[in-house]
Structure 1
Amino acid sequence: MGDLALDLDRLTAIDVHTHAEISKDGHGALSPELFGASEAYFKAHGHRQPTIEEMADHYRERRMAAVVFTVDAEHATGHPRISNEEIAESCAAHADTLIPFASIDPHKGRAGVREARRLVEEHGVRGFKFHPSIQAFSPNDPLAYPLYEAIEELGVPALFHTGQTGIGAGVPGGGGIRLKYSNPMPVDDVAVDFPELRIILAHPSFPWQDEALAVATHKPHVYIDLSGWSPKYFPPQLVRYANTLLQDKVLFGSDYPVITPDRWLADFEKLDIKPEVRPKILKENAARLLGLTTG
């Protein structure tokens, strides 16, 4: 894997969930219809899609690192993805701040497996993002298993969107997006069948928060990121588990650019989190999971 130039002592936080929404040539990660629905859901009308260079500046100014990814959903949506290589190369130019993840549509089969290996071994990719609802697959579908096997062998995490999504919200038929694929329970099967695979359940998993907590407490390599919601709306059981049983397995994530790290952190400051747990959530847990530190 490529080397990162992160100075952990300098960093105040690691945001494990940010989106590359636009390519260098202006191509969007989502169709205009689905992107517009997401903007409306997050009340982010007219927010400008930052380039990866602008994302680097944003996080560097705040002394934060950020995991960056897109979503490859070409099979289900017919919309061309942003190139994983472009994201990796752009992040490599800002290796003091940005951490590249990739996204591969599981429907791509053996070609996807070859791409995953190439991205990690030649382009320094540090993990993979899945969005089952947009990619139209259940996480425990055997079609994805060769890809998981490669990711497990490569020793990098797999991050799964869980819970409701703003993408397609309010569009007739939800834009064809099925929420059932983002129930975290099928990811439990993945954790059983790939016991060394590091897994991140992204977001407070409405309406399946208890399921996510159950999986993360039962399976030693399953984590939860807190992106996509302002902390002031976190379910009370999520806060309770973050403070106790899952204090070493909960991760700061914003969902930038639809939610900024500034807004997220301001609301997190008001949350009833133990002082000794805050640094774990903001930086230490992610640093360990991403292989940036030992222990």
Structure 2
Amino acid sequence: MSDRVMNVAELVAIDVHTHAEVARDGHGSLSSELFGASEEYFKAHGHRKPTIAETADYYRERKMAAVVFTVDAEHATGHRRIANEEVAESCAEHADVLIPFGSVDPWKGRAGAREARRLVEEHGVRGFKFHPSIQGIAPNDRTAYPLYEAIEELGVPALFHTGQTGIGAGVPGGGGIRLKYGDPMLVDDVAVDFPELRIILAHPSFPWQDEALAVATHKPYVYIDLSGWSPKYFPPQLVRYANTLLKDKVLFGSDYPVITPDRWLSDFDKLEIKPEVRPKILKDNAVRLLGLGGEQH
């Protein structure tokens, strides 16, 4: 634990989507086969996996904060996760710029729900990341419901990967990853069954962009993050909704390190976003959702 404290007023942006890809002992968040596929997909050959401390330095230099998480998909992949406790501890050492999210495999059922409570209450975790395609489970599978119930009671957000994924792209059978689990309409069921749960639909949700916009428009506590794509490739309806109906519910996210905030923000500058909406997307909406200004909404 450090004595660093986040000064929200001084931040220029909050990136709600960054990955802890390597543990202190060098263990990776994904198998080498799946990670190699992701690198190929994002044309990110040779990008070195930054440590959480290096991520903190990177964001501190840019006067930004970042949400950091890994993915627990032990059941489907057999690959040991990076420990949530390590992510939380490393973020606590850089509390001025890093916000820890946990990841608990939904297949862990009630044991997962107990872990989620412990992570929030004892380790300061501020939300949870799900990647249904990698975890091999539909978001609305009842196996996950004890975990969602705990997260809803804890009052922290659940972030779901939606749309296609670069993980497993080009590997025979996609490395066993089923794209259908990335359909945002499956998360709509979660929003119905857990009406107070704050949900973030991660990424422009190709090929289900319209579905994601419909869910976020219809369900008051469903948000969209813009990570994983350069803004110059955003579909026009996403830009239109971000400027209007969803201006208070769209969040800046990069997908660092596979996409850097430098690249993302450079392309975002060229996007036709209203001047009054830009600060909402880059920072204000995240401050409100994550309770960084004191209160959560």
- TM-score of Structure 1 vs Structure 2, range by shorter chain: over 0.9
Find the counterpart in structure 2 of residue 289 from structure 1. Answer: 289
Q: Report % sequence identity.
A: 84
- Indicate conservation of the 8 Å contact 2:4/2:93, yes or no: no
Counterpart residue type for residue 162 of structure 1 = T
DSSP 3-state at the match of 2:253: coil
CA contact (8 A) 1:101 1:128 kept: yes
Corresponding letter in the other structure for 1:213: L
Where do 1:183-202 residues align within 5 Å?
Answer: 183-202=183-202
Q: How big is each residue's C-alpha offset from its partner over 1:131-152, in whole Å with a ceiling of 9 and x where there is no partner?
A: 0000000000000000000000
Partner of 1:140, secondary structure, is coil
Name the counterpart of 1:54: 54
**Cα distance, 1:4 vs structure 2:** 8.2
Q: Gapped runs of 5+ residues in structure 1?
A: none
Pairing 1:59-70 to 2, within 5 Å after superposition: 59-70=59-70
Alpha-carbon separation, structure 1, partners of 2:143 and 2:55: 34
Opposite residue 129 of structure 2, the aligned amino acid is: K
How far apart, CA to CA, are the structure 2 residues paired with 1:227 and 1:31?
22
The CA distance in 2 between the partners of 1:110 and 1:292, in whole Å, is: 29
5 Å-filtered alignment, 1:223-238, equals: 223-238=223-238
2:172 aligned residue: 172
Q: State the match for 1:217 in structure 2.
A: 217
SS at match of 2:139: coil
Structure-1 residue corresponding to 2:6: 6
Say which SS state the counterpart of residue 47 (structure 1) adopts: coil
Q: Counterpart amino acid of 2:225?
A: D
d(CA) in 2 for partners of 1:216 and 1:272?
A: 21
Secondary structure in 2 aligned to 1:115?
Answer: helix
Q: Give the partner amino acid of 2:173.
A: G
Could you say which residue in structure 1 is the equivalent of 2:92? 92
Count of residues paired in the alignment? 294
Maintained 8 Å contact 1:119/1:125: yes
1:27 aligns with 2:45: no
SS of residue paired to 1:18: strand
Per-residue CA deviations over 1:245-265 (Å, capped at 9, x if unaligned) read 000000000000000000000
**Any stretches of 5+ residues in structure 2 without a counterpart?**
none
TM-score (norm 2): 0.98
Q: In 2 relative to 1, CA 4–178 (structure 1 residues): closer, same or farther, beyond 3 Å?
A: farther
User: What SS does the aligned partner of 2:14 have?
Assistant: strand
- Structure 2 Cα separation of the partners of residues 292 and 253 of structure 1: 16
Give yes or no for contact 2:4–2:94 (8 Å, CA) kept in 1. Answer: no
Tell me, what secondary structure is at the counterpart of 1:108? helix
C-alpha contact 1:4 1:99 (8 A) present in aligned 2:
no
Provide the secondary structure at the position in 1 that maps to 2:99: strand
- TM superposition shift of 1:13: 0.2
2:239 is aligned with what amino acid? V
Partner of 1:115: 115
**How many Å separate the matches in 1 of 2:225 and 2:162?**
10
Number of the residue aligned with 2:40 = 40
RMSD in angstroms over aligned alpha carbons?
1.2
Q: Distance in 2 between matches of 1:221 and 1:78?
A: 33
Which residue of the partner structure matches residue 101 of structure 1?
101
Aligned to 2:152: 152
> C-alpha deviations, 1:53-77, integer Å up to 9, x for none?
0000000000000000000000000
CA distance in 2, matches of 1:211, 1:218: 10
C-alpha displacement of 1:5: 2.2
**SS of corresponding position for 2:39:** helix
Question: Does the CA-based 8 Å contact 1:250-1:285 persist in structure 2?
Answer: yes
Match of 2:163? 163
Q: How do 1:245-264 residues align onto structure 2 when only pairs under 5 Å count?
A: 245-264=245-264
Letter in 2 for 1:97: V
Q: Are the counterparts in 1 of residues 4 and 95 from structure 2 also a CA contact under 8 Å?
A: yes
User: Tell me, what secondary structure is at the counterpart of 1:9?
Assistant: helix
2:151 pairs with 1:133 = no
Counterpart Cα distance in 2 of 1:209 and 1:191: 17
TM-score, normalised via structure 1 length: 0.98
| Partner secondary structure for residue 8 of structure 2 | coil
